[in-house]
Structure 1
């Protein structure tokens, strides 16, 4: 008996491969997890599937920059203030900040390329809820589920909500740049004030 070849089957296989690799590397090889996970999340769409930069959303750079910085300027100060008041702020040295900024940039690029640039584009997009498309909702659900499974922590599902913002930015700007910028700055801010 042969199975039909389907687009979604490949997408599901790669999704679970990313979860498996990330969970194993974070647990057993944490010093190499960043490099390995970035290579897998970017390598699957670029090297294995031969997606072009444009297919992954690397276009409309000025729009992406405008939307990414604009949304970050509106949302992140409110988040920082509310969470900082609730839980306090963490101190970070200047040298550590540079390392964190570079690390979180690689995380933002790799996760956005895989979840927004690749997975999102594999789904048929149609309206679902006001301001939320079906592709945004499903890719955000998969993003949050992956974080929960990778970190062995159900509370990590909370990334579903910022993921909806990143998907919305991707749709509005028509650029992967907007969600990368917002994701990157969100991770940095979350390091200082998290709730």
Structure 2
């Protein structure tokens, strides 16, 4: 029978193995290692579809929301939304506001609540990363079309 610590260590090792290639890809794209031969639109697309969703979901839902959910006060859901999700979504919107215009807050806050809900239902950030990437691809296409 495996002890709890052994199970946790195995889980952390598996997570590290699963996440490592993504982290390498993120750094490679972020620091322009593949950018010489890539058109600007493809670099932007990779950022919106892969880099930002992975980094943001691991940071906000994977770390912040998970940490808050361990506190009983933040884990109680009202109308399907936990205080952990609400607080994380506020932080997420504020982080986007710092690098964008003020009107982006509402455009980011409500989808963030959905991403937080998905994280809590799934028990991990995997589906949230996928959904976040799809939402960013939609935003990317709309912004490239000039809307």
TM-score tier by shorter-chain length is 0.5 to 0.7
RMSD: 2.9
Choose the corresponding residue for 1:145, options 94, 101, 107. 94
Choose the corresponding residue for 1:106, options 26, 42, 51. 51
Kept after mapping to 2: 8 A contact 1:140/1:163: yes
Kept after mapping to 2: 8 A contact 1:169/1:178: yes
Higher RCO (C-alpha 8 Å, min separation 6)? 1
Kept after mapping to 2: 8 A contact 1:100/1:188: no
- Length-normalised TM-score, structure 1: 0.48
Q: Determine the structure 2 residue equivalent to 1:189.
A: 138
C-alpha distance in structure 2 between counterparts of 1:191 and 1:184, whole Å: 10
Kept after mapping to 1: 8 A contact 2:92/2:112: yes
Structure 1 residues 97 and 150, CA gap change in structure 2 (3 angstroms): closer
Q: Which runs of 5+ in 1 are unaligned?
A: 1-51, 62-94
Q: Determine the structure 1 residue equivalent to 2:23.
A: none
Q: Is 1:130–2:75 an aligned residue pair? A: no
Number of positions where the alignment pairs a residue of Structure 1 with one of Structure 2:
108
Q: Is 1:120–2:87 an aligned residue pair? A: no
- Length-normalised TM-score, structure 2: 0.63
Structure 1 residues 85-123: Cα deviation after superposition (integer angstroms, max 9, x where no partner): xxxxxxxxxx66643442121100001111011111221
Q: Is 1:154–2:90 an aligned residue pair? A: no
Superposition pairs for residues 66-105 of structure 1, below 5 Å? 98-104=42-48, 105=50
